[in-house]
Structure 1
Amino acid sequence: SVVSPETITEDLPLELRRYYGQLGYMGLKFQLDESSPHGFAWSDAFLETVVSQSAIAYEKASVLFNYGACQSALAGATARGEQHTLKAVCAYLQSAAGCFKTLGEQFGNAPTSDMARPILNVITSLMLAQAQELVLERSVLDGGKY
């Protein structure tokens, strides 16, 4: 399911990256596919639907989506008044955009609306637009030197 704002901490991105790596390792050791009795549940970020699939690729895509959502939420929760924090927020947004762009390019058969290619393209563009806005803010703080 999508990461909820109250569960986001500075450590969560690292935990998600570790889990993503473990899923890759599991994929090498176990053959989980649509016929497997084990499944991974995913709640659509925009609709109140839950989908369960057995494919590890689906779980990896879900984790990548959550990682992007987490980076976006961290960007929103970070104060933007200082130069160094603007740079950090911009990095969060660029990271989020990279996650959503990767999903849009590599995950073609989305069982939920939040992972449909057009939606992911919009989210990617939104993250990049917000990062560009921060570049403008940095320029204003620098007196137009950026």
Structure 2
Amino acid sequence: ATTNHKVKETVALELSYVNSNLQLLKEELEELNSSVEIYQNDSEAISVPMIPLGLKETRDLDLMDPLKDFIADHYGEDAALYEKEINEFMDLRQAMRTPSRSEAGLELLMEYYNQLYFLEQRFFPPHRPLGVFFHWYDSLTGVPSCQRALAFEKGSVLFNMGALYTQIGARQDRQSLQGVKTAIDAFQKAAGCFNFLKENFSNAPSLDMSAASLNMLVRLMVAQVQEGVFEKFVLENTQNNFITNLQMAQEAARVEDVYTLVYRTMMHPPVKDYVPFSWTTMVRVKAEHFKALSHYHAANALCDFS
């Protein structure tokens, strides 16, 4: 093809066409995964949307032959006796790729994560790689990453647990006391997942699991928890008096502080070029909104009550 000028031009044209299609798909995926409208609750009442994360996607993985070979070589047993158990493990992995947005989905991810611990202890010795590659895609950009290390698989599953908690938190009806309590709990657990990931998994090949991104996600989840705390206070304190207004002003100011910190984190490289524009805009708007609320309630306290 390279010696025929006409064929070379045709190939280059087709390649540019394919690449432009890939770019369009990538942009559509980024828009879908970064949209704050997805996973919100279905209530007709107006509520400020929370920021959820999309789950990381992964490819199919066939562990049958690598595990059977290891069983035969390392343990000296008939590998055919363990086909049923290997198939059960692979079925579990397939199921955890599409968990339901509920406690059942979280339990499924946790079950698979726990199985990976035992798999790592018995079948993934550091001195002998199995030759198995784990493929996962970035949760925001869709960019693929690949590693042999089982730690990448464990980290990706843990990331999906955190992402699933954000989706559960975002879909709650925060006009009710129970809904806002559930949302607070979900975002706290999401922060815990991302913080554990930041402290225990290093050298992640994908941007969403880098230390800088995880630090930003932890702060974002903490801010959304604080926003839920403010909403909970409003629901629990309906009386209009001096003390209540001052306390609301304080709670709103606290929310503004944490969202301002999140915004500064998002504006710092390398996160700045990675975080979706809709996220940074929403965080900036929320910081200004709660700053205004704090002034409003402080003014109410000072002007309406002697």
| TM-score for both structures, normalised by structure 2 | 0.44
Residue 19 of structure 1 pairs with residue 112 of structure 2: yes
- Give the corresponding residue for 1:30: 123
Which of residues 180, 185, 188 in structure 2 aligns to 1:86?
A: 180
Which ranges of structure 1 fall in alignment gaps of 5 or more residues? none
Alpha-carbon distance in structure 1 between the residues aligned to 2:166 and 2:144: 22
1:48-67 equivalences under 5 Å are 48-67=142-161
Equivalent AA in structure 2 for residue 62 of structure 1:
S
Contact 1:39 1:53 in 2 (8 A): yes
1:1-146 equivalences under 5 Å are 2=56, 8-10=100-102, 11-31=104-124, 35-143=129-237, 144=244
Aligned-residue offset at 1:92: 0.4
Equivalent AA in structure 1 for residue 188 of structure 2:
Q
Q: Percent identity?
A: 34
Contact 2:99 2:108 in 1 (8 A): no
Give 4+ residue runs of structure 1 displaced > 3 Å after superposition. 32-35
Secondary structure of 1:118's partner? Answer: helix
| TM-score for both structures, normalised by structure 1 | 0.89
Q: Alpha carbons of 1:48 and 1:126: their partners in 2 closer, same or farther (altered >3 Å)? A: same
Which of 129-138 and 100-109 deviates more? 100-109
Q: Alpha carbons of 1:56 and 1:32: their partners in 2 closer, same or farther (altered >3 Å)? A: farther
How many residues get paired? 144
Equivalent AA in structure 2 for residue 131 of structure 1:
V
Aligned-residue offset at 1:48: 2.7
Aligned-residue offset at 1:107: 1.4
Alpha-carbon distance in structure 1 between the residues aligned to 2:212 and 2:204: 11
Q: Identify which of structures 1 and 2 has the higher relative contact order when contacts are C-alpha pairs closer than 8 Å and 6+ apart.
A: 1
Alpha-carbon distance in structure 1 between the residues aligned to 2:199 and 2:108: 24
Please tell me whether Structure 1 or Structure 2 has the larger radius of gyration of its CA atoms: 2
Aligned-residue offset at 1:36: 2.6
Aligned-residue offset at 1:7: 5.4
Q: Tell me the alpha carbon deviations over residues 65-91 of structure 1, each in whole angstroms, 9 at most, x when there is no partner.
A: 000000001111121121111111101
Alpha-carbon distance in structure 1 between the residues aligned to 2:124 and 2:216: 34
Equivalent AA in structure 2 for residue 12 of structure 1:
G
Aligned-residue offset at 1:46: 2.4
